[in-house]
Structure 1
Amino acid sequence: MSLRPASPALAAALLFGASTPLAKLLVGDMPPLLLAGLLYLGSGLGLGALLLVRWLRDPVAASQLRIPRPEWPWLGGAIFFGGLLGPALLMAGLTLTDGATASLLLNVEGVLTAVIAWLVFKENADRQIVLGMVAIVAGGVLLSWEPGAGRLSVGALLIVGACLAWAIDNNLTRKVSTHDAMLVACLKGVLAGSCNTALALAGGAALPPGAAVLGGLTVGFLGYGLSLTLFVVALRGLGTARTGAYFSVAPLFGVLLSLAIWPQLPGGPFWAAAMLMAVGVWLHVRERHEHEHSHEVLQHTHRHLHDEHHRHDHDFAWDGRESHAHPHRHEVLTHKHPHYPDIHHRHGHGH
């Protein structure tokens, strides 16, 4: 398949992967919960500013931005797991784990995302996807194990816990991915960031110097806000498991930046784990899914161009080139082509 549908997920991976070692630079200046709050607060405030610019440029289109009330529980669950629990666990884990290992451990998020999508939400996963997940899990276990200790390190377990929280978040966010991605990410950032920051301050944490606060807000805007916006776009086009697979590239970017900040020669287990994870990502990226399938009647709203899945008339002027958003109806259609489990391909399989 073309890599074009994957480009938002890869861009999200680049931004998020870089944020992990940068957050580790800041974690020593403030309590983990406060840093988690500032990261998400930076995400929400930055995206809110971009939404304001959009509103000033096109008030009519901006006035239509909303999340339908029946879908708020999905978004609320995503905010709790991904915005509150996940960042708090990650920041705590970063205080006990070196930057390169923490970055590679985050690869487990893509695996857990795929497992939940497959087992709970019944998204299709073939043998290649499963083999890729096994390879990434094996790499994560190898990274987490402390030789001679006979147990998993606490820092590694906290980071894996963050990955699980984000995996649940990813699957819940898919339920609202047809709506404006920036709005979804902004709401998650503002609500989660406000709660985490308030809890940290109520627990006795003190705000660090202004430079550290500004650093946390900036890293949050880039590594969480813009990354999450692109991730939601990818969920819409790829489905949850595939988006998680492409997002698994994020730790590779994080490792490169970590080794640039803290120069060191990683040991053998590090490289073995990196190889296993690379094989897993490669298996995910080369997956091809094609079969005859039927589309049921579906009515929804999202930004689109007219393609084989969008062949409808308009009651408004449209030049045929620009993407546009409006309520539209899909009629029954049966055809065969390579596809992902995106918002138009959420069908069952006979195998």
Structure 2
Amino acid sequence: MIRSKFRKFTSGTSAASAPLLLAVLSAALFGAATPASKLLLNGFTPNQLAGVLYLGAALGSLPWAFRGSVQMPWRLDSANRRLLLGSVVFGGVLGPVLVLFGLKAASAASISLWLNLELVATAMLGAVLFRDFMGWRGWAAAGVATLATGILAWGGGAAGIRAAVLVALACACWGLDNQLTSLIDGLAPADATLWKGLAAGAMNLGIGLSLSAWAAGPVMTALALAIGASCYGASIILYITSAQRLGATRSQVIFSTAPFFGVLLAVVVLGEKLSLVQSGSGVLFVSALILLAKEKHQHAHKHEAMEHEHRHSHDDGHHGHRHPGGRPEAEHFHRHGHEQRSHAHPHWPDLHHRHEHD
């Protein structure tokens, strides 16, 4: 039923605008998670809420995960199982709990603005730990985002500083999660969301119940599951769907507006007041995101012969393998091989571009 409504929506919208609308909807849903979680913290401890939200994310990914055959994580090789485990621990367990503890100490608008650090943290961790290229624009963006974080924390006093540190740590966890997830070979995005939601949700819920008694009623629990399903589960799937049509770069630029949707909803729904300090920090964060979006990287590089399994299309210049009956136009998922080749083109550090730089 959900898939049929989704197909009806996309078929009833022009081919040019449908992926753009999906990307904006994905960002809006993801941004809404912060002010919604602020309200839910009245009935849950941070660990309990993180657990229920991520179990909801698993529910939200089910329609897409079961569209094909679900890949089982225990069938991955040991290297990919370790990557998935790291993604679960850092992205599904630690990151959400740190943000929720931060939400107890600061406004939803400030937390939403600080979440812009995730994109910067992803780029910096990639450069430091994963051999990614980061030019002067990337480092300048990191500096501007750090300045914005400091100004916003200073404006909130001791509680603001504590909340800023918690959110910065959460963004570092999510940045590491992004890097680890990008390296996972053999697990479709919807399946990764499903298994991460189940594992991380169960872990955080178990920790939360061991520390505090359950106090939330059935209505509050159902609401938390629904928010997790839409803001974390469906949002990620919508982002992946839009990226398949818009391209990863344009989709990421649109998705990076998610924190600002959170600020808007915090003001409109929660009635929070937007201060001059928050507004100034927001301008700095926008400047940092623009710098990151303008980062370019192109040079001659070599691809070694390899075989792996991931979602791909045949219009990206890297997938020339044959299919019985002709190449499919849509993105698809299967095991395939690559021949050794050398070429030059603009690229980002994805599965095919993890090479050394001088």
TM-score in same-fold range (> 0.5): yes
1:24 counterpart = 2:38: yes
Contact kept, 8 Å, 1:111 with 1:244, in 2: the verdict is: no
1:227 counterpart = 2:235: yes
**Matches of 2:94 and 2:319, distance apart in 1:** 39
Contact kept, 8 Å, 2:185 with 2:308, in 1: the verdict is: no
Residues 112-127 of structure 1 correspond to what in structure 2 (within 5 A)?
112-127=121-136
1:329 counterpart = 2:343: no
Compute the RMSD of aligned alpha carbons.
3.0
Secondary structure at 2:58 match in 1: helix
TM-score calculated relative to the size of structure 1: 0.85
Please, which moves more after superposition, 63-72 or 92-101?
Answer: 63-72
Paired position in structure 2 for 1:100: 109
Residues 195-344 of structure 1 correspond to what in structure 2 (within 5 A)?
195-229=203-237, 247-307=255-315, 308-314=317-323, 316-318=324-326, 320-344=328-352
Report the AA paired with residue 317 of structure 1. Answer: G
Contact kept, 8 Å, 2:56 with 2:227, in 1: the verdict is: yes
Report the AA paired with residue 181 of structure 1. Answer: P
User: Paired residue for 1:43, among 57, 70, 74?
Assistant: 57
**Matches of 1:163 and 1:73, distance apart in 2:** 21
Identity %: 34
Paired position in structure 1 for 2:201: 193
- Unpaired runs of 5+ residues, structure 1, are 56-61
User: What's the CA shift for 1:311?
Assistant: 1.6
User: What's the CA shift for 1:184?
Assistant: 0.5
Paired position in structure 1 for 2:13: none
Please, which moves more after superposition, 318-327 or 294-303?
Answer: 318-327
User: What's the CA shift for 1:123?
Assistant: 0.6
Report the AA paired with residue 52 of structure 2. Answer: L
Secondary structure at 2:335 match in 1: strand
Q: How many residues align?
A: 335
User: What's the CA shift for 1:47?
Assistant: 1.8
**Matches of 1:230 and 1:340, distance apart in 2:** 22
Task: Say if 1:230 and 1:320 are closer, same or farther in 2 by CA, change over 3 A.
Answer: closer
Secondary structure at 1:113 match in 2: helix
**Matches of 2:142 and 2:255, distance apart in 1:** 13
Please, which moves more after superposition, 329-338 or 185-194?
Answer: 329-338
Secondary structure at 1:291 match in 2: strand
Report the AA paired with residue 149 of structure 2. Answer: G
User: What's the CA shift for 1:8?
Assistant: 8.3
**Matches of 2:231 and 2:329, distance apart in 1:** 32
User: What's the CA shift for 1:186?
Assistant: 0.7
- Unpaired runs of 5+ residues, structure 2, are 1-17
User: What's the CA shift for 1:177?
Assistant: 5.8
Paired position in structure 2 for 1:34: 48
Report the AA paired with residue 48 of structure 2. Answer: L
Task: Say if 1:5 and 1:280 are closer, same or farther in 2 by CA, change over 3 A.
Answer: farther
Contact kept, 8 Å, 1:117 with 1:123, in 2: the verdict is: yes
TM-score calculated relative to the size of structure 2: 0.83
User: What's the CA shift for 1:119?
Assistant: 0.3
Task: Say if 1:110 and 1:246 are closer, same or farther in 2 by CA, change over 3 A.
Answer: farther
User: What's the CA shift for 1:264?
Assistant: 4.6
